[in-house]
Amino acid sequence: MTGAKTADLLRVKGGAAIRGEVSVPGDKSISHRAIILGALAEGETRVTNLSPGEDNRRTVDAFRAMGVAIIEEESAQGSRVVRVTGAGLRGLRAPAAPIDCGNSGTAMRLLAGVLAGQPFESTLIGDASLSRRPMRRVAEPLRRMGAHVEGDGGEAGEVLPPLRIRGPAGGEALRAIDHVSPVASAQVKSAVLLAGLYAGGVTTVSEPAPSRDHTERMLAAFGAELRVEGPRVSLRGGPRLHGRTVEVPGDLSSAAFWLVAALVTPGGEVRVNRVGVNPTRTGVLDILRRMGAQIEVVAAGEAGGEPVADLIARGSDLSAVEITDPELVVRAIDEFPILCVAAARAKGVTRIRNAAELRAKESDRIAVMAAELGKLGVRVHALPDGVDIEGGGPLAGARCRSHGDHRVAMSLAVAALAAEGETVIEDSAMVATSYPGFAATLERLIAPR
């Protein structure tokens, strides 16, 4: 059966089109931030459409472990509502055990920023994949602010989880810093800004290009004083944050799987409802349109201070492109695996550069996508900072691996739709970190043959 999931295997038969209408889970990045700022605010924060994925569950559990009351319930319309009774900036309690971030690098890095300002010691741990992910870019600025951050050693002085974190001795405030990040990273920027809430004075983060700005938008909505000047963000420490209602828009990264699935299957057409279209995140749409994709943006509106819209994609003849602009790469960094699938169906050679950051994600996404698409018959040449993908040729079903990466698993499922025969994807349980209902939705959207 197309889209069938048995045990830890996802089986997908090729030759079918994707057709229908779908709503995707709440944006994972925004969900993390809504829980974090709700926990640090005074009063109640009401969050609707929180992502149901395992990654966001880790953030909820982390703040419960630090004494924050978080209640989950259903609204009158049957949607999921999370109520967070904020503890205020100084109200967190020391957790009784290490905080397990699972597979979530976002949870670990953002929590590190919060914990850097606490008067107690805490430890952040993760699964085998997260324990290999580099944390020095976060640890170094937090140390400059006066926090004690220790991790396991790695090559060239890298800092690896578990992270052991404690704020300045005697409950003193952190030092405000002017941090110049060598790469555009929303996670690093957010960690420093969250630590900046506990600093005396103004903390500033500068990047080579603007990364996603969900943290800045939400900090302002909760009452923080900050200034944004292009890739430079400044935050004044010690604000009183106030609880509020947050509607989390649909996750564009999750929507991208269905958009590309419709684009690469003849006769495909899908409408994805109320998706976040924050300009710092829409690089994937810009790239797909450059390839010749038919994508409409309709019913534009706003949710939780973020722009939203419905997205409609139809089967299209795609052409290869060159993706080298660092700013565009940053705006599409999480969609790289599914963009590789689009490139595999685009005529010509697609070249992606300036994307070395992909080697430090849940997997080495450059090496992994090159290897797995190769199994399906795609010619891919991996480079230190990108790939060359020769697209437009026939694909054949194969046995593939997710390498413990949820986005790789879902991207391979989409590629399988355009392949002849059946594709089996091993270790597909990792999809639950961001999209627990992916396999069921895939099966529902398959058009009858």
Instruction: Report pLDDT digits (tens) over 140-193.
Output: 999 999 999 999 876 677 899 999 999 998 878 999 999 999 988 999 999 999
Q: Which of 27, 100, 251, 334 is catalytic?
A: 334
The predicted pLDDT at position 169 comes to 84
Active site residue 334: yes
For the domain made up of 4-26+249-445, the CATH class stated in words is: alpha beta
Mean pLDDT of the chain: 94
pLDDT digits (tens, 9 = 90+) for 16-47: 889 999 999 999 999 999 999 999 999 999 99
Q: What is the pLDDT of residue 448?
A: 61
pLDDT at res. 181 = 95
Given 3.65.10.10, 3.30.70.360, 3.40.50.720, 3.40.50.300, which CATH number is that of 28-160+174-237? 3.65.10.10
Cis amide leading into 210 (omega within 30)? no
Give the per-residue pLDDT at 1: 42
For the chain, what are the domain ranges? 4-26+249-445, 28-160+174-237
Three-state SS at 299: strand
**Stretches in the chain below the pLDDT threshold 50:** 1
Q: Is the pTM of this model over 0.85?
A: yes
How far apart, in whole angstroms, are the C-alpha atoms of residue 270 and residue 155? 45
CA atoms within a 13 Å half-sphere pointing along the CA-CB vector of 371? 13
Cα 311 to Cα 75, 94, 183, 296, 308, distances in angstroms: 26, 44, 30, 6, 9
Structure tokens at 395: 């694909």
Domain 4-26+249-445 matches domain 28-160+174-237 at the CATH topology level: yes
